[in-house]
Structure 1
Amino acid sequence: MKLGVNKQRIGGRAKAIAWMCTLVYFASYLTRNNFSVMMLNICNEMGTTKTALAVVVTGLTIAYGLGQIISGLMGDKIKPQLMLTMGLCLACASNIAIFFCSNITLMTVIWCINGFAHSMLWPPIVRIMSMYLTDEEYSYSAVRVSWGSSFATILMYLALPQLLKIASWRVLMLACAAVGIGICVAWTVTNPRFLKEPVINSRSAKKTDGKSVFLKPPSFVYLPIALIMLGIILQGILRDGVQNWMPFYLSESFGIPESDAITSTVLLAIFSVISFAVFDLLHRKVFKNEVFCAAMIFALSAISAFVLYCVALFTSLAIPAMLLMAIIVASMHGINLMLITVVPKRFVKSGKVSTYSGILNACTYIGAALSSYGFAALAESFGWNFTILMWVFVSLAGLAVCLAATPVWKRFRKEYSDAE
């Protein structure tokens, strides 16, 4: 079985665009999440608590989520290539600036700026893929760009704990900034070679006297979009909730050492790499409707969460629990691919791909914010078994929402996105 798009139909130009965007997204994850990965070491070095330092990461999350909406709107007005360069430069500058900080308030301000800088990256990436790639090339690129986040996660969780034994966290922030600068230079130098003429086909905006005439989407699409946004929030709740609290669950429920439990996060990233290719294949070859595909992935998550609940209730087996949580998180990455990467592509005729991309991506971080405190409170008050049961209900809610949106979304695709 071949995963992904048939490589014979993917040209060298499309591959170059895909892998350059992948590098940019890799740099984004590296310079955005490095602080969180090293937080325990930073707490010890600064002599502060995790609670006090958590405000720095919370500030980044809020700025990133709100910035998605602003950057989405900006992304349809500003040249996306330029916006990517600006965002990555600002992110690298923030990583350099925090090297000199020892005041938590100032660190929070700098990391909020970093959060906004990263919000400038995803909407233009989606716009570039929509403008310069055909549908098959877009699918090829979307999978590989998504890999960028997983590769960065694997690198950080494997390398940073080891490097912290020989270097301070401040030096490693500079190292991450250096990688980001290198990728930024490579992007700036190479993108003019590949991003020359947008792809013009029957599904793009119409041309009149050499100018694009964008078509307003039908009003009935806003109902499925609202449901999709709710589905993305539920996806964000599960993705970040399970991923962030997995080490605590493994440590508290199975007595796994904290360092080993944190390393288990790498398993989630490895599963996500595989899931992107598998779910993309299912979407293109089987379901052929990204919203219905997301519904089926939510169903897989609900089944996995229920089995995990049974494992937690009746056994004390850590490995099955770990694998089931990996499947849940991988499923959420698949839903992310469907609803945040594929859905905006359907609005290319409107000239608002970046806007829709930013708004939809912001919904993920609403869910992430809810899960940060919600699951912690549930686990503390009612225990992990009850918390896992809530994962089942969140998955079922996502299934219901996506199934409700599917018929109208299918009509939208037929009458607008796919219409000649």
Structure 2
Amino acid sequence: MTWTPGDALRFGQRRTLLLCWFAYTLAYTLRVNIAVVIPALVSVRGYSYAQIGLITGAFFVSYMFGQLIHGYLGDIVSSKLLIVGGLSLSALCNLGMVIAATFGQALLIWGLNGIVQSMLWAPIMKTLAQWYNRQQLERVSFIMALSMIAGYALSWGVSSLLMDHADWSRVFSLPAAVAAVHALVMLVLFRSRPDRAPAVDAPRPSRATGRRQEDRMPIGAYFGLVRLPGLLLIAVCHGLIREGIGVWFPGMLRDLGRTPPGYAWLVLVVVQLANLAGILLVRRVSLAYRGESARTLLAVFGVVGASVGAVPLLMRFWAPASVVLLAVPLALTHGLTPVMTSLIPFQYARYGRVSLTAGVLDFAIYLGAAVSGISSGLIIDRLGWNGVTLVWAAAAAAGLALAFNRRAAMRGESYADEIGVSR
């Protein structure tokens, strides 16, 4: 059997996607595991919920600024260096949480974890944009979104079992060991770009700028190209809801005692199946709207606003149903993630700004997450769980209003038209 250049490219594409998928899955096990271990940090280490909020907030703050830095570096520095380095250093940070003796040390270590975790996503997007053509990237982006769900399910499921049957420190040390092994595998097998470019249309000048696809647009022109401020505010609301619920949902389940002893892991895994359904549903919506992100954002935030808005009322009269209902906005905001952090950045491949776009949008998402992380702990300490659900409801209302405004401003034009991408 003859091994053609096309066969080599397809093999390289599958290998690269698989390595990136597992890298980001394992990266999530090194960051969302803290949600399950919160009760132990409160009872064993004596931290208050306000202190837990500061620790998770430190991660989000450092992560969002790291996205700006590594989003820019990702367009000019080796993707392999950033991805392998970020995964390895995040494993070390998780080991550091085991030996952290004080609140200050834990705050510093988890903040550092945010910085090194920010080294991963933007270079992964850049790498995939170099291995796959435009027609393939829509499917690839949703495949990568599944890595987040897998990471959540693996982390929450295994961590809950470890909390029930082993020492809480294993929640940090076990994923660190697995991630370190994968980093070594990537060091050997990962390649940032193919020898032969995937089959694509010949580079064409953009209708918006007249620049060819392989050119890298100056940063000033890039930021002036789209209606960026409104999109960034939508991303802030998205992050506040998604990461706010994601961080506190396991603790809420345990604190309110809504699951039978020993079965918390099963409930948390089922929640991730709901998140998977959210990704598939939002993808169908995006396809139905032909990739017009403004319409997709409006539809998703409409449902998120309705569901999260009902939670404070149910929390007062029927708390178990309110916890279940929180799975709806959590699932839909996870479904919106590939639209915000993959599909939109991929549309900037012709400007040489895939990594920067992914970094900027991720920055905004985690700005919202940082606000949620820092404020939620204080709110829970003073007002309980009902208080923090009101914050999520307010963010959903703001996101809906911003999405409606964006849709009204773009009526009659597609997102591809807005940025000058030919269909």
Q: What is the TM-score when the length of structure 1 is the normalising length?
A: 0.82
CA contact (8 A) 1:147 1:273 kept: yes
Letter in 2 for 1:239: R
Letter in 1 for 2:325: L
Query: C-alpha deviations, 1:325-375, integer Å up to 9, x for none?
Result: 111111111222212221111211221211121111011121112223545
The Cα of 1:281 is off from its aligned counterpart by: 2.6
Structure 2 CA distance for partners of 1:116 and 1:40, relative to 1, 3 Å: same
Structure-2 residue corresponding to 1:242:
245
Distance 1:14 1:264 in 2: 35
Among residues 268, 271, 276, which one is paired with 2:274 in the alignment? 271
Letter in 2 for 1:40: P
CA contact (8 A) 2:67 2:122 kept: yes
The Cα of 1:257 is off from its aligned counterpart by: 7.0
Letter in 2 for 1:80: S
Are 1:394 and 2:395 an aligned pair? yes
The Cα of 1:231 is off from its aligned counterpart by: 0.2
Structure-2 residue corresponding to 1:364:
365
Distance 1:192 1:20 in 2: 10
Structure-2 residue corresponding to 1:221:
225
CA contact (8 A) 2:242 2:333 kept: yes
Distance 2:165 2:393 in 1: 43
The answer for unaligned runs of 5 or more in structure 2 is 1-8, 206-211
CA contact (8 A) 1:251 1:258 kept: no
Structure 2 CA distance for partners of 1:254 and 1:179, relative to 1, 3 Å: closer
Are 1:327 and 2:328 an aligned pair? yes
CA contact (8 A) 2:58 2:370 kept: no
SS in 2 for 1:221: coil
Structure-1 residue corresponding to 2:294:
291
Letter in 2 for 1:344: P
Query: C-alpha deviations, 1:13-38, integer Å up to 9, x for none?
Result: 44433322110111111122334422
Structure 2 CA distance for partners of 1:304 and 1:345, relative to 1, 3 Å: same
Distance 2:86 2:152 in 1: 20
CA contact (8 A) 1:27 1:152 kept: yes
Sequence identity percentage: 19
The Cα of 1:274 is off from its aligned counterpart by: 1.8
The answer for unaligned runs of 5 or more in structure 1 is 1-9
CA contact (8 A) 2:53 2:373 kept: no
Structure-1 residue corresponding to 2:184:
185
Structure-2 residue corresponding to 1:89:
88
Are 1:168 and 2:170 an aligned pair? no
Of structures 1 and 2, the one scoring higher in RCO (CA 8 A, sep 6+) is: 2
Structure 2 CA distance for partners of 1:221 and 1:164, relative to 1, 3 Å: same
Distance 1:197 1:45 in 2: 55
Structure 2 CA distance for partners of 1:108 and 1:371, relative to 1, 3 Å: closer
Structure-2 residue corresponding to 1:6:
none
Letter in 2 for 1:236: G
| Number of aligned residue pairs | 406
Q: How does 1:132-171 map to 2 (within 5 A)?
A: 132-165=131-164, 167-171=166-170
Among residues 306, 315, 318, which one is paired with 1:316 in the alignment? 318
Q: What is the TM-score when the length of structure 2 is the normalising length?
A: 0.82
CA contact (8 A) 1:298 1:398 kept: yes
Letter in 1 for 2:216: F
Distance 1:218 1:192 in 2: 28
SS in 1 for 2:76: coil
Structure 2 CA distance for partners of 1:378 and 1:101, relative to 1, 3 Å: closer
Distance 1:184 1:338 in 2: 27
The Cα of 1:75 is off from its aligned counterpart by: 0.7
> What root-mean-square deviation, in Å, do the aligned CA atoms of Structure 1 and Structure 2 show?
3.6
Query: C-alpha deviations, 1:149-171, integer Å up to 9, x for none?
Result: 22222222222232245543444
Query: C-alpha deviations, 1:43-62, integer Å up to 9, x for none?
Result: 54445555445544333222
CA contact (8 A) 1:242 1:325 kept: yes
